[in-house]
Structure 1
Amino acid sequence: MSDAQQDRAASERGERKAGLAQLVLLLAGICMPVLGVTIIAPVMPQMGQHFSGTPGSDILVPIVLTVPALMIGLTAPFAGFFADKVHRKRLLLIGMAAYTLAGTAPLYLDSLVAIVGSRVILGASEAMIQTCCLTLIGDYWSGKQRARYLGLNTLVAGLAGTLFIALGGLIGVSGWRAPFWLYVTPVLLIVPMAKLLWEPARSSAQAAGARLEPLSRDLIVPCVVTLFGGVVFYALIVELPFVLNGIGLTSSAAVGGISAIMALANAIGCGLFTALSGLPARVLVPLEFGGTAVGLGIVFAAGSVPVATTGAVITGFSTGLLLPTLLVWAVNRLPFAQRGRGNGWWLSALFVGEFFSSLVIAGLGAVAGGLQPALAMLAVLSVAVGGIVLLWQRRVAEPLATPAATAPSKNPASA
């Protein structure tokens, strides 16, 4: 059934139809985890100086920045379970409230250990928010429109990250605590979400509290590939400044400018996905890993800043196109009863991969003899993974964007 036919059938059944307001709210919610990391990154040195007398501060201060991502990786599957088992919208609102409370805690906490604890709670709330927002996008839209909107979330998140880093730096001149005020942002979204979002109706077999049907095994391969994709995606985000320093570029402003150019290329790749979302995964994923390998290979061979910048741009563009492809490949075909858990496991794979990216690069560097050789090894692995995906998808021959038949929704349940 085409999107238009599904919309007409929904209209005849008297269902509510999601529009721009719902899309904006869900995309804004997806930006919260990006805000959680990027807004405080510029003030990490100030925080380190403030807590310099605290034992272990050299370890705990970086953990303040990174532990939310780890917690998303660890808790997103549980968030997905409760989204399928109980209530998507209610879990989203709880996550938004918890995000505000935990995010603003460093404004009044004087213990570095307590701040780390608040960031653990923040990460769990981010898992709830992102899992529920992605799941509701899948619930509200179908077919190619669903694929476009799932892909759009990575573009919006990338652009938001660039904005939040700049905003955090500007606000940080008032002190390291000042950026934490921006964690009150969800308060502005909770009431509109409560009024404008709705819980999709469940069939009697899917009623809240009912036994969940097993999760599709088709999710395993996309999630394993996404785990590696998270490593690749984060590799140059973290390591590019060190590469540039190693070839003689020491100006932080120049390094930041090149990183911003790579981020822009990443956003362009994300934006291009909407035009390519109809292509099958067996075409897109190998090409994207191949492009990533080319970019990393150029960075490996770079002896000058322009060459390294070229490699970074190619890598950023390729990974920008890769992430929405992996997301749609994994979850677009899942039926309603599995959608929350599917999104949760996909997010877990992505964030665990991102968290361990630096450790993987360090391990490869120890074997290969340095950072740039490590990136060359990662390029080789990217080609290998792309080839494996090509061979695997030739066997199953499934299109990327064609959704599986889902149980028809009825009038939405009250919140």
Structure 2
Amino acid sequence: MTNSASLADAPRIERDAAVNPVTGRTAGSVQGILLLIGSCLPVLGAVLLAPILPTLTGVFASVPGSEALVPLIVTIPALMIALIAPFAGAIVDRVGRKRLLVVALIVYAVLGTAPLYLDSLPGIVLSRVGVGITEAAIMTCCTTLLADYFVGARRDKYFGLQTVVTSLAATAFFVIGGALGANGWRTPFWLYAVSLLLVVPVALLIWQPRMQKTGADRAKLPPIPWRALALPLIVSLFGGLMFYSLIVELPYVLAGLGVTEVSTIGAVTAAASLATAIGAILFRWIARFQARRLLPLALGLGGVGLVIVWFAPSIPVAIIGAVITSFGNGILLPTLLTWAVSGLAFEQRGRGTGLWTGFLFFGQFACPLVLLALQAPLGSLPAALGALGIASLVIAVALAFGLARSTASPDSASAPVPAAH
């Protein structure tokens, strides 16, 4: 596989066409929308149940170890995505994208709604482990199919929209989770059944991008280009820390500045989500500047915003910092995804996407732990966020100089490589 050609040098048909090279079928907005909706499902595990955590703590207070087990109801799916997504990517490359996606959507609903009838806290946590596994499969399949169906400017558009819809979905699910939780702690789990509404449309309108190889040929999948993929994966791990830092911690920062009204916290969180969406929407038009320019920009904005939050003397200044960081994060995620997967051949794309998803979600899972570890010596949460911001600025500068000088820059890894037929 050759990664030496830049995206600008790729043939126009490779950059702009959306016709599958084997089947000749053209993916359109219907397929794109279905895959974007599917990409929102893993967000449920992160935010839907956060508003009911205090209630769950009270319900299971008498259960030994509940102090550790109750938070796992929210965090364990992200850890499972981080651990399982690379394996899901290997399955995707061997057995096909569509088959795994349909099965995962069904199992997701079964396991996601399991707490409706489970009374055991360990049993609920175990069901959440299963939810995380299905989320890994769904996210990997949806992202891989977006990369399969679309190339060039259309791929940039959908990668940006994926960040937009998941960011807005996170805000919506947080509000919905709180509203449903007012009717009982089990009620929010009904929302996991929504995946069943996607099963039939996915079965009818999503197709496997190419004929599967025979069993003998499947064992001969081309190896992952680790040398080209290693740096994107490492930066994506840090990107996961950056992206989820304010999603997780912004309410606590506002509380430290004296904000106690839930409506105010919700409004500020919504403003940050909107900034993320705007950054992701813009990616479609700025993607031509490629990762070697966009990564330093996105990480630089994220770092500046967190430093502003650190030193913010008032709520309006903290909001400005949060908006700047969120805008940078909106650019960051689609840039990282494009950098990581667009240089992969078809037979490598599932595994590459799975690895990227795993590294990103491990960053999400580790985010509160890293900030807690920083908070102890630095003395406050804003200082911990500021330290993360400084690290982001340092990485931005290193990437700006290192990638510009390297012959293996993101530009050289950004050309879509036609799959061998």
Q: Look up the match of 1:390.
A: 400
Distance 1:124 1:10, change over 3 A: closer
Confirm whether residue 121 of structure 1 aligns to residue 133 of structure 2.
Answer: no
How high is the TM-score relative to the length of structure 2? Answer: 0.91
Q: CA deviation at 1:204?
A: 5.4
Q: Look up the match of 2:338.
A: 328
Matches within 5 A, 1:190-209: 190-202=199-211, 209=218
Distance 1:304 1:121, change over 3 A: same
Secondary structure of 2:64 counterpart: coil
Gaps of 5+ in 1: 410-415
C-alpha contact 1:30 1:129 (8 A) present in aligned 2: yes
Distance 1:230 1:206, change over 3 A: farther
Confirm whether residue 17 of structure 1 aligns to residue 26 of structure 2.
Answer: yes
For 1:44 and 1:203, how far apart are their aligned partners in 2? 44
For 1:207 and 1:136, how far apart are their aligned partners in 2? 24
Distance 1:400 1:33, change over 3 A: farther
Please, what is the CA RMSD of the aligned residues?
Answer: 2.1
C-alpha contact 1:3 1:143 (8 A) present in aligned 2: no
For 1:204 and 1:3, how far apart are their aligned partners in 2? 25
Deviates more, 1:377-386 or 1:220-229: 377-386
Distance 1:304 1:407, change over 3 A: same
Confirm whether residue 73 of structure 1 aligns to residue 82 of structure 2.
Answer: yes
Q: Look up the match of 1:89.
A: 98
Gaps of 5+ in 2: 1-10
Secondary structure of 1:174 counterpart: coil
Q: Pick from 153, 168, 189 the counterpart of residue 180 of structure 1.
A: 189
Matches within 5 A, 1:401-412: 402-407=414-419
Q: Which amino acid aligns with 1:41?
A: A
Distance 1:190 1:368, change over 3 A: same
Q: CA deviation at 1:205?
A: 8.8
Deviates more, 1:339-348 or 1:230-239: 230-239
Confirm whether residue 47 of structure 1 aligns to residue 53 of structure 2.
Answer: no
Corresponding pairs, count: 408
For 1:183 and 1:274, how far apart are their aligned partners in 2? 31
C-alpha contact 1:206 1:337 (8 A) present in aligned 2: no
- Write the deviation string for residues 144-163 of structure 1: whole angstroms up to 9, x where unpaired: 21122122111111111122
Q: Look up the match of 1:135.
A: 144
- Write the deviation string for residues 124-152 of structure 1: whole angstroms up to 9, x where unpaired: 00000010111111111122211221221
For 1:260 and 1:163, how far apart are their aligned partners in 2? 9
Q: What is the percent sequence identity of the aligned residues? A: 47
Deviates more, 1:209-218 or 1:248-257: 248-257
Q: Pick from 234, 238, 250 the counterpart of residue 244 of structure 2.
A: 234
Confirm whether residue 265 of structure 1 aligns to residue 313 of structure 2.
Answer: no
Q: Look up the match of 2:179.
A: 170
Q: Which amino acid aligns with 2:174?
A: I
Distance 1:271 1:8, change over 3 A: closer
Q: Pick from 179, 198, 216 the counterpart of residue 189 of structure 1.
A: 198
Deviates more, 1:245-254 or 1:28-37: 245-254
Distance 1:294 1:10, change over 3 A: closer
How high is the TM-score relative to the length of structure 1? Answer: 0.93
For 2:74 and 2:338, how far apart are their aligned partners in 1? 28
Q: Which amino acid aligns with 1:347?
A: T
Distance 1:400 1:173, change over 3 A: farther
Q: Look up the match of 1:99.
A: 108
Q: CA deviation at 1:391?
A: 2.5
Q: Which amino acid aligns with 1:265?
A: A
Deviates more, 1:370-379 or 1:16-25: 370-379
Confirm whether residue 363 of structure 1 aligns to residue 377 of structure 2.
Answer: no
For 2:105 and 2:291, how far apart are their aligned partners in 1? 33
